[in-house]
Each structure stands twice: as C-alpha cells, then as structure tokens.
Chains A and B, each alone.
Chain A
Amino acid sequence: MLRTWRQRITITDIFIWLIGLAIAALVIWGTIATLQQGKYPGSVWLDLTIKGLALGGVYALIAMGYTMVYGILKMINFAHSEVFMSGPFTAVFVAIGLSKSGFLNKQPVISLALILLVSAGVSTLIAILLERICYRPLRNAPRLVPLITAIGASFFLQYVFRGFYGSGTYGYPDIKALDHSWTVGGIQIYATQVVVIIGAIVMMLILFGIVQWTKIGKAMRAVSEDKEASELMGINVDRIIVFTFGLGGASAGAAGILYTLLYPVVTFYMGFFPGIKAFTAAVLGGIGNVPGAFLGSLILGLLESVGPNLFLTGLGIPSPSQLKDAIAFIVLVLILIFRPTGILGERISKDKA
C-alpha cells in the first residue's frame, strides 16, 4: 500500500506541494502580522469587503458569458471582453444625452433602464455577430483555430470601436438619485454599491432561472451534455448556440453598466482587465458551471479588494495595491494545481473532457 503510494508521487508533485505550502504559510503569516499591527480599524475591512462584493458581482455577470459558451462549445471566447466593452461604450452617449436634457435626474429609473437596455442590446448584437461570422464557420475545425480567431476578433472589435467613438475617455454622468449613502456600523455604504450588488444578484438569479427552469435552458444543458444526441432529439443546436451567445452578451452588457456605476470612465480598451479577471473567476469556480462562476467571482472580487492590505501589509511590502493582480493570478495558479476542475468542479460531459 505504502509502496504504490510512493510510486505514484513524483518529484514534481512534492515540489508543487512545497510551493503551495510556502504560499499558504506566507498568506497566513502576513495576515496575522497585519492584524497584529492594528493599522486598519474594523470599518476599513468592512468597507473593502463591500467594495469587493460589488466588484465580484460585476465579474460574475461577465464570467457567465465565458462559462456558458465553454459549457456548450468547449472553447474560450476571448473576444468576450470586447463584447463587454461594446455595451457601456455605446450607452455612454445615451447617458450623456439624457443627462444634458435633464431627463436623467428627473426620471432616474427610466433612464437607467434605457441605458441598461441599450448597453445589453449592443453587447448581445455583437456577441451574436461574433458567433455567426467568426465561430460558426469554424465549428468543426481543430480546437486551436477558433481560439486564435477569438483573439483576432478581440483586437478587431477593439479597433472598430476605437474608430467609431475615438480613442479618448468618456465619463458617465452622475446620477443624483444614486448620490446617497447610509452610515452602517461606522462605515458609509453608498447607493451605487447597493445597486451594483443587488443588480448583480438579481441578474444572476434570472440567468440561473433561464438555464435551470425554462425549456430553452433545458435544451442548452442538453446540448452541453451531448451535441449529437440532442440534435437527434430534435433540438436545433444552431439556435441554442446563438441563444447562449446572446444571453452571455446581454449579461456582459448589463455588467458593463454596473461596472460604470463603480468606475464611471469608458475607453475602447476598458474590457481587457475585467475580461481576464472574469475568465479567471470562471476557472476558479469551475468553468462550464454557472453557480461556480458566481462563487469564483465573489471570491476573486474579495481577494482583490481585501487581499493586498490583509496579506501583504504585515510582510512590510510597500504599495501592496500594485500586487492585487498578482494575488488574483496566484490564486488561479494554486487552484489549477490543487483542484484543476475549480472549486465546484467543471461541469462538462465525460467524453469531451
């Protein structure tokens, strides 16, 4: 028994475990040292947690696009970050127009709904066009081909939008109705944060509902289990794939509006970092798995927000906030080493895995 066990473990395994243990020890040591220093009062941690949850909620909505497409086509749609950018970058003009006419502050709910609709609409359209033009002709090509196409499409979309709207930055106008805050437990909670967190949860529930309890959601799950069999059962696979891309696009467009409530500046390259973070979150939770993407996103948002100050301050590292991306990606590496299928497990059919 011991012998077979010893035979199975290689030098690489030991090495990887040592790296993992070292990082874990560093994190624990840093955390204890930071808390002992007492540099930050409890309210700071609470504030960072709320900001992290809001950011995580946005990541979750973007991650849906990656995870649903992966579930069905087994490909990573790297152009999804541009699908995310296209919505808010277009809707900013609607927002500026509404703000100039004064409608935005008179009817904030209708205005926000309109902005959301434009953003989600544009993103959906871009996602569907992407599928039709870039991926459908390559559906039976080797797996690397659509991946490279995705990268190309990503650059193409970025520069098309740069051509459309210019290379400058645009700012979303302030919404007076959201310029409000409550004092809870010694910290200020801002209306924008509440709207983002609640909005993200509601949209996640809607998405989850569509996938779990509607007929088309059932078809989506069937296609992701076995494409050929579901075709034989009379499911129009092309339609399901288009629907999946559209749904992912709509949720990315909606995420874009929530994102601009937190960071109200849009540019043509704004999609890159949120896109890559959402992809990380999807892998963290288990790609192809809808609740997994949600969980992974919240964990990633929290780690990014709380992590630098909690883990690194105690170690005496100057300007820890610059290392927040490093923390996010180290977590990804650790997950891939110790649990390659993600926290909740990859949910894909056996024969394709």
Chain B
Amino acid sequence: MYKRLLIVISAVAILSMLLSACGTKASTYTCTDSIGCVKIGPTDPIHIAYMLVVAGPNAALGTDSRNGVEIAIDDAGGKILNHDIKFDGEDSACSADGGQAAATKLAADPTIIAVIGTSCSSEARAGEPLLSAAGFVTISPSNTAPDLTDPSSPNHYAGYFRTAHNDKIQGKAAAEFAYNFLHLTKAATIHDGSLYASSLVQVFADNFKQLGGTITLQTSVTIGQTDMSSVLADLASGSPELIYFPIFMPEGAFLIDQARTTPGLENTKLMVADGLYSPDVMNAAGASVEGVYVSSPVVQGAAYDTFVAKYTAKFGTAPINIFHAHAYDGFNIVKAAIEKVAVVETDGTIYIPRQALRDAMAATANFQGLTGVLTCNVSGDCANPIIGVYEYHTGAYPPILIWPTEYVK
C-alpha cells in the first residue's frame, strides 16, 4: 500500500522536475530588481490601468483623461514592443474613499505595470500608498496638490509622477492675475476640505498677501452642502472684491449661483480653478456663470491641434475637460520608459523590472509632449506649465482665455 503511494509520488516528482527544466530552458533572464519584475509571455498583453473619476458629478474630469490615453494608444498602434496594450481600470470617485477602494482593487492585480491616475489629489493621498507598495508606477494627468511631490511630505510615495502642474504654480498665477491684472486688493477664499482645495487656497492667499493684497476671510464648505447662504453672508461682511474657491462640482455651482443673490456680493468677482473647468458648471449654474474666472493650463501648438482633431473624430465632441493632453503625455512617458528598461527574450517574452522603470521615468528629460517639453524630477513633477485664466460666458463652452495676454489669440 505505502509502496504503491511512494511510486506514484516519485513519478509525479520526476515528471514535474522534467517539466520545470523545460520551462527554465527558454529563459535566460534572472530578475535582480529590488522590487521585482513583471513577466509578460509572448502572447500576453502589456497591462496599463487607469484610476480616474469616470462616474459621478466629476466624471468629465476623468473621462477626458481616459480619452486622451485612448488616443495615445491609437497613436502607438495599440502596441508596445509588439505586445498588445491592455487598458482598463477603476473609477476612483474624486474622493479619498473612492481612491482607496479603487487602489485596493488595482493593487491586487500583479500584471499591472503602470497606472494612469489619479484624477483628484485626495484619491492619490488615499490610494498612492497601496499602488506604490504594489510596485506600480503612477502618472497622474491632473493631481495638482503640492504635497504629492514634496519629498518631505508624508503624502509623497515612490513611483509617483505627474504631468499636471504643481499648485504652487497655479495658486501663484491666480494671485498675480487678481492683483496685477484685475488690480484687486481684497480677496476671500473658500475650500471644501479636500487636499487639492485646501492647499491651493493657501498658496493663493500667501502669494496674494505677498503682492500686497489683503485676505478678508478664509473659510470652508462641506462636500454635499447645497445651501451656501450662511457662508456667503459671512464672506459678504468682509466685502471682498474677489472670492477664490478652487473646489469641485456640485458645490462650486451652488456657490456661483447663490453668490449672485447674496446682498453685498452682487458685483464681487468669482474665481475658480481647474477642478471647475467643465461643461457641467455651465449646465448647473445657468446664467450666473457669466464672468466667472477659471485658471487652467494653457496648451497650444500644432501638435495639440492635430490631437484635438483626432479626439473630435474619435469621441464626437471637442475635449470636455482640460487634462486630456496631460494624460496623453503621461501615457507616452510610461511607454518610453517601458521601451527603455524592458528585457526582451528571443521568444517574445518581456521582463519589466519595476524599480528600473521608476528610475527611467524619473530620468525622463526633454520629452516632447503636447503640453510642452517635459523633464521629470526624482520627486515626480514632470510638468512645465503655463497657467492661464479663462472667463466663462453663459451658454458658450469652453471659456475664453484672457490672461496671460501674450497667449490670447
């Protein structure tokens, strides 16, 4: 009885040894990367995921970025190193909870090499620890909070890059626009508790004060709040000339709409940032949107015009938000880095060492992108942005660029 079992076991053992010997014969590469390698078989696709807000009130933000990546994939012929590209992902809901949930799902998939995302800075704060620990590289088309690429901040993680501008630049530009171009000296700010908004208003306030202006009040609203009357009454008591509230939908639309009917704020200028550069703002705020300023990066040039033509042909609409070109560049930076570090076997198997990929991304220099000539640094900032200010007009999307004047066509 035992003898027969022994024979079976030894037969299985010998067979498995033979099989594994066959398996290792084709491979000559041994992974020495400190955080591991991804092995992609000869017919397997290269898996790149997205983690963007593609549903809910801020869906335009992430969908637009995803569209940008899809065009980049088309431009690459759907292949990297002769392997198909597998592109799928998770909605991250533009919130910390959503970011954590999406990142948990993605981190469980070891075939993922890179993640295009996130859309909102709060998602990155909650999700990036998981994505970083899983060994992925992340490149965000639209995170702008300064923390994320500040090496001394606890919100900075290895493997994180972004093609979006840092809000240190956007906040400064907004303050300069208000003080130097509009000649306003009294401003107030509102944030919604998100990482993006709270850091951006702080940068704005610091720069505005440095220029010589005064901040009458720095206050906040809660996400989900609809009735803004008491916060607006509070703001009106300081009679600011400008209210800066770089928040999201739908609270931003409620503020725009209700500010117009608050005594003392009828003629106050309103200014928002790239989070509220969206057709949804037009629909929700109606006629009140007239004259609202919105800051956003300026992307111009012949290559960009070609891109917009492709976008319009593929999706049947002009770009619905602002970070499509950033997503396009982000994907191409990842693609270039993969091509640089990948080890290709004769049978078509590819090994991608994860740490080497991160290093290659950080070494990206003079990359010719749609958003400019991009050079990444070790802490993750790749952008070379020009921030412009646009003005909303009722019934006309997109808003019109009015500053800096040298870019106005």
Contact = CB atoms under 8 A, between A and B. Distances in A.
B400 interface: no
Interface in B209-250: 219-222, 224-231, 233-234, 236-237, 249-250
A265 B56 CA distance: 13
A265 B287 contact: no
Contacts of A171: 253, 280, 282-286
Contacts of A44: 233, 236-237, 263-264
Contacts of A167: 55-57, 59
Contact of B254 (A39, A265, A273, A309): A265
Contact of B250 (A51, A188, A267, A324): A267
Interface in B266-322: 266, 280, 282-287
Interface in A170-190: 170-174, 179, 181, 186-188, 190
A248 B56 CA distance: 29
Contacts, number: 107
B57 A169 contact: yes
Contact of B229 (A174, A181, A265, A305): A305
Nearest to B60: A168
A40 interface: yes
Interface stretch (A23-31, A143-151, A235-243, A312-320): A312-320
B262 interface: yes
B250 A40 contact: no
A319 B261 contact: no
A172 B220 CA distance: 26
Given A168-B56, A168-B59, A171-B285, A309 B230 contact: yes
Contact of A47 (B249, B250, B262, B283): B262
A313 B238 CA distance: 13
Contacts of B84: none
Interface residues of A, number: 41
B257 interface: yes
A12 interface: no
Given A174-B286, A319-B219, A322-B220, A309 B234 contact: yes
A48 B230 CA distance: 7
Nearest to B285: A171
A309 B230 CA distance: 6
Nearest to A307: B230
Nearest to B231: A321
A43 interface: yes
A246 interface: no
Nearest to A269: B224
Interface string A1-45: 000000000000000000000000000000000000001100110
Contact of B230 (A186, A264, A321): A321
B253 A313 contact: no
A279 to B, nearest CB: 17
Interface residues of B, number: 37
Nearest to A319: B219
B226 A319 contact: no
A179 B261 CA distance: 11
B353 to A, nearest CB: 39
A187 B225 CA distance: 24
A52 B263 CA distance: 15
Given A44-B263, A179-B287, A321-B230, A264 B257 contact: yes
Nearest to B284: A171
Contacts of B283: 169-171
Contacts of A121: none
A305 B249 CA distance: 22
A269 B99 CA distance: 20
A213 interface: no
Contacts of A307: 230
A55 interface: yes
Contacts of A168: 55-57, 59, 280
Contacts of A324: 227, 230
Contacts of A304: 227, 230
B54 to A, nearest CB: 10
Interface in A274-316: 304-309, 313
A44 B231 CA distance: 12
A308 B226 contact: no
Contact of A169 (B230, B249, B266): B249
A265 B263 contact: no
Contacts of A308: 230
A245 to B, nearest CB: 26
Contacts of B284: 169-171, 264-265
A324 B232 CA distance: 13
Contacts of A319: 219-221, 231, 234
Contacts of B224: 273
Nearest to A181: B261
A126 B280 CA distance: 28
B263 A51 contact: no
Given A44-B263, A169-B250, A188-B261, 16 more contacts: A47-B262, A51-B229, A168-B57, A169-B283, A170-B283, A170-B284, A186-B263, A190-B261, A263-B227, A264-B284, A306-B230, A309-B234, A321-B225, A321-B231, A322-B221, A322-B231
15 contacts: A43-B263, A167-B57, A168-B55, A168-B59, A171-B280, A263-B226, A264-B257, A264-B284, A267-B250, A305-B227, A308-B230, A313-B234, A319-B219, A321-B225, A321-B234
Interface of B: 55-57, 59, 219-222, 224-231, 233-234, 236-237, 249-250, 253-254, 257, 261-264, 266, 280, 282-287
Instruction: Rank and list the top 5 A-B pairs by shortest CB-CB distance, nearest first.
Output: A321-B231, A171-B284, A171-B283, A174-B286, A321-B230
Interface of A: 39-40, 43-44, 47-48, 51-52, 55, 167-174, 179, 181, 186-188, 190, 263-265, 267, 273, 304-309, 313, 318-322, 324
